[in-house]
Amino acid sequence: MFKLNIFLILVLIACALGVVTAQHMVRNLFMALEKEKETEQKLEVEWGRLQLEQSTLITHGRIEQIATEHLNMMVPATSSIQIVSINTAENEMNAERVRP
Amino acid sequence: MIKPALPTIKLSAWRSRLLFGMLVLGLISLAARAAYLQGMNNEFLQKKGESRYSRVVEMNADRGMITDRNGHIMAISSPVASIFADPKVVVIKPEKLRQLAHLLEMSSTDLNALLTKENRRFVYLKRHIVPDTAEKIMQLKIKGIYLTSESKRYYPEGEFAAHVLGFTDINDEGQEGVERGWEQTLAGELGRRRVIKDNKGQIIDEDVASIRSPKPGKDLVLAIDRRIQYRAHAELKQAVLANRAKAGSIVVLDAQTGEILALTNWPAYNPNRRSTINNERLRNRALIDTFEPGSTLKPFTVAIALEVGKVNSHTILQTAPGTWQVGRKTIRDVSNKGELTVAEIIQQSSNVGTAKIALSMEPQTMWEMFNRSGFGTLTNSGFPGEASGILRPYNRWRPIEQATMSYGHGISTSLIQLARAYTIFTSGGELKPVSLLKQNIPVMGQRVISRDTAWAISRMLEMATQPGGTAPLAQISGYRVAGKTGTAHKLIDGRYANKSYISTFVGYAPASNPRFIIAVIIDEPSAGKYFGGAVAAPIFSKVMSGALHILNVPPDAPANNVITFTATPEMEDEG
């Protein structure tokens, strides 16, 4: 009886230590998780900032300004545009309709 | 030496009993206290204990983005820092004060006043500063000065989409435009969780049961196409300034779905710089201001006359001598136009002709037409503060009122309502609902007039932009354009002002298969020109040709510049 009790006490102590270790490990992992979450947040902020930067850079006004001022581009006059239509029955009909 | 044996002292028995009793009493009271703490008062103590290590932490939820129909960002939240102080705790040396003031871009005296505010435990020193500056401020390590993270709204388009988007206040709540109208959708909901922190303030564990997840705001996809929006705003601004006008607005609708592709006004403000905002600039005139539509209403009068069979396109009416007496009032045309067909009445915008057509109908018939075309009723675009305009009940119309109403006087409308009404001519007789959000499923319209009538009116509107019409300046080479001008005297204090006008133009293209409806209004042009055909039509033409180019709409009136590839080249030679 006494021996069994000793044995059970040892088992109990082992279990208790196990709980403590497990808890400790959980907290370590949890801290790692928190750190990753923080990184995620930071990356998301960065992503937002990059998106903002991109949309500021591609505003129509800016593109137009660069195209006209730096690249000397312009919208062609209608008279200098050649329209190529693919010859399907439908297009043919349209062409007939609009021809003066 | 022998010590004498100590005499045994006989103590009285009550003393030991008393001692024993006291010890037992002490034990009992300890046990009782323990039981009380453990059992009955346990909850309170548990809480006290928890408060030493557990904290409730808020979890951020971002406000949703606003994008245009192609997914380009038009409004986005980005984190910024705010600096606050606890005046009771702050201890600062004069040198550090100067450094801090410099970083905050404030004067030292102002800053000092903030830091020495009595009876306050919380003072914002500056909100929404860039994170880099915030970092430098925290490196000064001043006691009692703290940092908090907030989010700020950015609008890459600046003033180009100001009236559509609106803006949020410093607490991230929508104040105007879409930001206000869709606040419920855009706003995020903060999350909370209970966590355990160690002595270094690091989170080491969380209470899973206590987590309330943050709900980030939903993103919103607008119907706006930002390329068309840009074009519309740039042209409008230029035209308002060139005509020395008081203001102007422009609305671009998708002719088939009623989606708002662009909507803008001048004067405008830059939502990124709040200091540029004042009441004049804030007004979203296209939606909240109403005006008398003038001649742009004539097609509706003629449409109902065609519909009920009073006239057809070729019916001839006498408009000579250019005036017509109705009751005690006289209706005037700009000039004596003689005999006109119904189509020519629209083309040349004859008031007399339109009034004659109108008076051949019952007031109720006309009222129903205007009502079903959406005049006097809200468009339900979801925009805050939208105006419904005024369409008076037909049983109170006098003949002169019915006559003037037929050409757009005595009735008021907002620009967006006017643009919406024109959908009945572009979609074969159906009034389409306008929407500020992108529509992914085909929209159902409400039939107002028959397909044939819509087509007939469309032909007349096309004539108006051709030589002999009122708006040859609305033409776009390569495309067939249909539209109607309007020039109205401005109502000031219930009277028509002599020298102030409202010039409008509403039109659509390509006329054979309409893609866009554009409505333009210029308020009080004062650089000499004031006719709708001279002031508003050129803006229409520029914006429309821009939109047609941007979306690669094939020309429906090509000027001999089409190369047709045929399957058999020999056939080409024969043709």
Read off the pLDDT of residues B540-551 as tens digits, 9 standing for 90 and up: 999 999 999 889
CB B315 within 8 A of CB B341: yes
According to the model, what pLDDT value does residue B220 have?
93
> Coil, strand or helix: which one is B338?
coil
- Are B446 and B434 in contact by the 8 Å Cβ rule? The answer is no
Residue B503: what pLDDT? 92
Does A87 contact B at CB distance below 8 Å?
A: yes
B74 neighbourhood in chain A, CB within 8 Å: 55
Q: How far apart are CA A20 and CA A61, in angstroms?
A: 64
Residue B436: burial class (beta carbons within 10 Å; 0-12, 13-18, 19+) = buried
B509, burial (CB in 10 Å: exposed 0-12, middle 13-18, buried 19+): buried
B572 pLDDT tier (thresholds 50, 70, 90) = very low
* 8 Å CB contact of B562 and A49: no
Q: What percent of chain B has pLDDT over 90?
A: 44
Q: Label residue B257 exposed, middle or buried (CB < 10 Å: 0-12, 13-18, 19+).
A: buried
> How many Å apart are CA A35 and CA B217, to the nearest integer?
25
Backbone angles phi, psi at B508, to 5 degrees: -150, 160
Residue B200's pLDDT band (cuts 50, 70, 90): confident
Mean pLDDT of chain B: 87
Contact B557 A81 (CB under 8 A): no
Burial (Cβ within 10 Å: 0-12, 13-18, ≥19) of residue B459: middle
DSSP letters spanning B495-517: EEEEEEEEEEEEEEE-TTS--EE
- Per residue in A25-50, pLDDT tens? 998 898 899 899 889 988 988 888 89
Query: In B, what residues contact A, Cβ < 8 A?
Result: 60, 62, 72-74, 76-79, 154, 156-158, 160, 202-206, 226-227, 230-231, 234, 477-478, 480, 512, 549, 554-559, 561-567
User: Does residue B129 contact residue B78 with C-beta atoms inside 8 Å?
Assistant: no
Interchain contact, B559 vs A79, CB within 8 Å: yes
- Give the DSSP letter of residue B82: E
What was the pLDDT predicted at B210?
77
Cβ neighbours, 10 Å, residue A89:
7
Choose among A55, A64, A78: nearest Cβ to B156: A55
Kindly report the nearest CA distance between residue B272 and chain A, in angstroms. 12
Share of chain B above pLDDT 70, in %: 96
Q: Is the peptide bond before B510 cis (omega within 30 degrees of 0)?
A: yes
Q: In chain A, what residues touch B556 (CB-CB under 8 Å)?
A: 94, 98
| B267 vs B114: which has the higher pLDDT | B267
Q: Which residue has the higher pLDDT, B210 or B103?
A: B103
**pLDDT of amino acid B211:** 82
Res B464 pLDDT > 50: yes
Of the pLDDT bands very low, low, confident and very high (cuts 50, 70, 90), residue B4 is: low
pLDDT at A44: 86
In B230-334, DSSP assigns E strands to: 247-254, 260-266, 290-291, 316-318, 323-326, 329-332
C-alpha atoms less than 13 angstroms from C-alpha of B239 in its C-beta half-sphere:
33
User: What's the pLDDT at B457?
Assistant: 94
Chain B CB within 8 Å of residue A27 CB: yes
- Is the peptide bond between B267 and the residue preceding it cis, with omega within 30 degrees of 0? yes
User: What mean pLDDT do residues B53-78 have?
Assistant: 87
B449 phi/psi in degrees, rounded to 5: -135, 165
* Annotated catalytic residue, options B295, B381, B406, B458: B295
Domain boundaries, chain A: 2-98
Instruction: Verify whether residue B503 is a known catalytic residue.
Output: no
Report, as an integer, the average pLDDT of B501-524: 93
* CB-based contact, A98 to chain B, within 8 Å: yes
User: What is the rounded average pLDDT of the residues B485-508?
Assistant: 85
Alpha helices per DSSP H over chain A = 2-57, 60-65, 89-98
In the numeric block, which tokens belong to residue A21?
């270790």
Residue A99: per-residue pLDDT: 42
Q: Work out the average pLDDT over A74-83.
A: 78
Cβ distance B559 to A48 less than 8 Å, yes or no, reads no
Closest residue to B73, CB basis, from A55, A60, A94: A55
Q: Kindly list the structural domains of chain B, giving each domain's residue range(s) and its CATH number in brackets, ordered by start.
A: 58-221 (3.90.1310.10), 226-550 (3.40.710.10)
Cα separations in angstroms, B250 against A57, B506, B537: 26, 10, 12
Confidence of residue B227 (pLDDT cuts 50, 70, 90): very high
Residue A93, pLDDT above cutoff 80: no
pLDDT band at B59 (very low <50, low <70, confident <90, very high): confident
CA distance B145 to B201: 18
- Write down the pLDDT at residue A17: 96
Closest residue in A to B553 (Cα) is A83
Q: Which residues of A touch B158 (CB under 8 A)?
A: 59
Confidence category of residue A100, pLDDT binned at 50, 70, 90: very low
* Residues of chain B with C-beta less than 8 angstroms from the C-beta of A40: none
Q: B225: nearest CA in chain A?
A: A60
Contacts A–B by Cβ distance under 8 A? 96
- Taking the Cβ of residue A89 and every Cβ of chain B, the question of whether any pair is shorter than 8 Å is answered with no
The span from the CA of B458 to the CA of B549, in Å, is 22
The pLDDT of residue B91 = 80
Q: Sign of torsion, CA B420 B261 B284 B221?
A: positive
- Of the candidates A59, A77, A79, which has its C-beta nearest B156's C-beta? A59
Among positive and negative, which fits the CA dihedral B108, B114, B117, B122? negative
The span from the CA of A40 to the CA of B438, in Å, is 31
Residue in B542, B559, B538 with CA at minimum distance from that of residue B550 = B542
Judge whether residue B494 has pLDDT over 90. no
The closest CB to that of B564, out of A56, A87, A97, belongs to A87
Q: How many CB atoms lie within 10 A of CB B302?
A: 26
Check if A78 contacts B (Cβ < 8 Å).
Answer: yes
Return the pLDDT at B571.
Answer: 40
> Does residue B150 register a pLDDT over 90?
no
Q: What is the mean pLDDT of chain A?
A: 83
Q: How far apart (Å, rounded) are the C-alpha atoms in residues A13 and B195?
A: 29
